[in-house]
């Protein structure tokens, strides 16, 4: 009975966020400070976390929030400069030349281009770039953020040069006694076992993730179409499936042959190379073009402070020249992430490191030059000269970017510290495991042999709490492996399901939702966005769970 109470108390911070954002429909700027206070109170009173740990976790969260704001600022600034130069108008004309159908445009921008950006950088870059780009092309801001959040899932399993797997899972498993004992009994090395996890993650994720473009466009037409119809989204099923496979097949083949560093990046590049020419020729595209209702008929709350630049034809510009800034973003992100090139080391050389904050075991580490925000600002400077942007226009673009972010700072200043307090609750005087592990332990006790079905949900919960699939994997990979060993099933399969759940949870994690909303000037719509992505999220975790049951008990894959 006492353990059940601890499980419920560990669930309380998540329930608080869900009730306030999704049920009560309160804006995040009201919900997240309350959730922080609830989490802090439970940590202090029940988990007996020392006040110094609470304060250190809060400071750690605030530093991480500043990093997120820096990334979002760079993305907004780049968009504003491109609007001033006329590049966005040219890009819009180019995309209309590919297809005037908004469903097709969304798939190309957020699923394929966004998948490439995730593989190059992570850190919320896909939504930060793709959502405002869609708005500039004429999408309602709310629709742009929604599809960006849904699409930023499948590519996250391997993420930026494999970090969710190489850092998240590896840090959780390597050297753990239970893992070493298990591998000794199997007679295989940890390296070989890790490859097994990578292979299963790639194959399983592609099976489930291929349908994400279809879920994305059906949600788009249901919530933002004139007829509010699921059918208008389903009408593009052939092209959506084609685009899904164009990303997942090369992504999986890359995972099988090259490892976890480049599946998302290569999947995005190959997908763009295949899908864009196909769309231009009308391959598998519906005859009836779908568009949003006229802008004057849009519902309240659809638009943010960043408006579309539909008629802002500053001057004629070639399509190549207009796309150069985004090409440079992708190129610089890739060059700065490849470990065999010198740029990564140079950018990481500037470190803001504080160990044992307030005498605790908590450390703070920030690498500002390595953050994508620095790449965005560098590209802004290059664009200033390349596109011959006027100095006054650059000043105005900067002012507008700062103004857009003012409402976001308070939300992130509460949301990220709440997550760090929740995660760091393992530093306590009560002897209890941290809140995330206590909660996961409770779920595993209820699930028993059906654990493969629930494993992805734990991964999604970790991302929802922490705002990162990598952190979710770090928190729960060893736990997932331990549950699998206890009930006698494949640990590699269950850890792969954890990775899938962590990627799916990216759709609803509050820092991601807030940051993506900020890039298009939206505020107070976080709960609405979470409600609207619950269907694809449920599909992802349930689909992964069912696949896990089939693989473990039907196919008996180890």
DSSP SS3 for 137: coil
pLDDT tens per residue, range 269-284: 899 999 999 999 999 9
% of the chain residues with pLDDT over 70 = 97
pLDDT of 136 higher than 60:
yes
pLDDT tens per residue, range 80-123: 898 888 888 888 788 778 899 999 999 999 999 999 888 877 76
Query: How many alpha carbons lie under 13 Å from residue 430 in its C-beta half-sphere?
Result: 17
So what's the pLDDT on residue 310?
A: 45
Residue with the larger pLDDT of the pair 547 and 526: 547
Choose from 78-87, 167-176, 539-548 the range with maximum mean pLDDT.
539-548
Q: ∠ CA 375-71-329 to the nearest 5 degrees?
A: 30
Name the β-bridge partners of 366. 352
Task: Quickly state the pLDDT bin for 308 (edges 50, 70, 90).
Answer: low
Rounded to two decimals, what is the model's pTM? 0.84
So what's the pLDDT on residue 306?
A: 65
pLDDT of 524 higher than 90:
no
Residue with the larger pLDDT of the pair 404 and 225: 225
Residue 259: C-alpha distances to residues 155, 256, 342, 546 (Å): 14, 6, 21, 25
Asked if residues 521 and 304 have their Cβ atoms less than 8 Å apart, the reply is: yes
pLDDT of 307 higher than 70:
no
Structure tokens of 333?
């992100």
So what's the pLDDT on residue 182?
A: 85
So what's the pLDDT on residue 474?
A: 81
Average pLDDT, the chain: 88
So what's the pLDDT on residue 312?
A: 47
Residue 424: C-alpha distances to residues 217, 475, 477 (Å): 38, 10, 17
Task: Quickly state the pLDDT bin for 315 (edges 50, 70, 90).
Answer: low
Asked if residues 466 and 124 have their Cβ atoms less than 8 Å apart, the reply is: no
So what's the pLDDT on residue 129?
A: 82
Q: Kindly state the average pLDDT of the residues 174-178.
A: 77
Name the β-bridge partners of 352. 366
Residue with the larger pLDDT of the pair 40 and 527: 40
pLDDT of 529 higher than 70:
yes
Q: ∠ CA 382-383-387 to the nearest 5 degrees?
A: 130
pLDDT of 542 higher than 50:
yes
Residue 377 burial by CB count (10 A; 0-12/13-18/19+): exposed, middle or buried? middle
Asked if residues 107 and 285 have their Cβ atoms less than 8 Å apart, the reply is: no
So what's the pLDDT on residue 212?
A: 97
pLDDT of 313 higher than 50:
no
Q: Kindly state the average pLDDT of the residues 492-519.
A: 91
Residue 37: C-alpha distances to residues 34, 44, 53 (Å): 5, 10, 15
Residue with the larger pLDDT of the pair 455 and 405: 455
């Amino acid at each position: 009975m006492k353990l059940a109470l601890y499980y419920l108390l560990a669930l309380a911070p998540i329930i608080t966020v869900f009730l306030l954002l999704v049920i009560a429909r309160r804006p995040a700027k009201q919900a997240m400070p309350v959730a922080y206070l609830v989490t802090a109170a439970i940590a202090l009173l029940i988990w007996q976390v020392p006040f110094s740990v609470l304060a250190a976790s809060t400071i750690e969260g605030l530093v991480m929030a500043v990093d997120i704001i820096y990334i979002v600022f760079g993305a907004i600034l780049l968009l504003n400069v491109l609007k001033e130069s006329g590049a966005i108008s040219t890009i819009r004309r180019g995309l209309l030349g590919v297809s005037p159908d908004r469903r097709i445009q969304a798939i190309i921008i957020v699923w394929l281009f966004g998948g490439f950006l995730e593989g190059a950088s992570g850190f919320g870059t896909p939504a930060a770039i793709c959502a405002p780009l869609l708005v500039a092309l004429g999408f309602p801001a709310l629709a742009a953020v929604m599809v960006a959040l849904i699409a930023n899932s499948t590519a996250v399993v391997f993420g930026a040069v494999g970090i969710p797997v190489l850092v998240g899972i590896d840090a959780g498993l390597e050297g753990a006694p239970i893992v070493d004992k298990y591998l000794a009994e199997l007679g295989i090395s940890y390296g070989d076992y890790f490859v097994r996890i990578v292979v299963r993650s790639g194959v399983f994720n592609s099976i489930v993730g291929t349908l994400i473009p279809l879920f994305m466009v059906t949600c788009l037409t249901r919530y933002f179409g004139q007829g509010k119809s699921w059918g208008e989204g389903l009408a593009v099923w052939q092209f959506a499936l084609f685009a899904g496979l164009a990303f997942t097949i090369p992504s999986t083949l890359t995972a099988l042959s090259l490892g976890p560093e480049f599946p998302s990046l290569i999947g995005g590049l190959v997908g763009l190379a295949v899908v864009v020419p196909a769309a231009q020729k009308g391959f598998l595209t519906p005859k009836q073009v779908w568009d949003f209702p006229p802008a004057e008929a849009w519902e309240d709350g659809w638009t943010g402070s960043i408006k579309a630049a539909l008629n802002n034809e500053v001057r004629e510009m070639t399509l190549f020249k207009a796309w150069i800034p985004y090409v440079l973003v992708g190129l610089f992100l890739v060059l700065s992430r490849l470990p065999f090139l010198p740029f990564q080391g140079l950018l990481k050389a500037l470190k803001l490191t504080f160990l044992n904050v307030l005498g605790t075991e908590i450390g703070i580490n920030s690498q500002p030059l390595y953050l994508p925000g620095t790449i965005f600002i560098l590209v802004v400077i290059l664009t200033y000269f390349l596109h011959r942007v006027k100095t006054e226009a650059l000043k105005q673009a900067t002012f507008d970017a700062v103004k857009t972010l003012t409402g976001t700072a308070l939300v992130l200043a509460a949301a990220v510290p709440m997550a760090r307090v929740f995660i760091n609750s393992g530093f306590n005087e009560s002897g209890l495991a941290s809140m995330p592990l206590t909660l996961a332990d409770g779920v595993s006790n209820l699930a028993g042999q059906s654990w493969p079905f629930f494993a992805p949900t734990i991964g999604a919960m970790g991302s929802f709490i922490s705002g990162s699939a990598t952190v979710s994997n770090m928190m729960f990979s060893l736990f997932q492996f331990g549950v699998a060993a206890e009930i006698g099933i494949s640990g590699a399969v269950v850890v792969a399901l954890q990775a899938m759940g962590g990627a799916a949870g990216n759709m609803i994690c509050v820092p991601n939702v807030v940051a993506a909303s900020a890039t298009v000037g939206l505020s107070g719509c976080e709960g609405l966005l979470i409600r609207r992505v619950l269907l694809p999220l449920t599909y992802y975790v349930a689909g992964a769970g069912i696949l896990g049951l089939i693989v473990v008990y039907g196919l008996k894959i180890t």
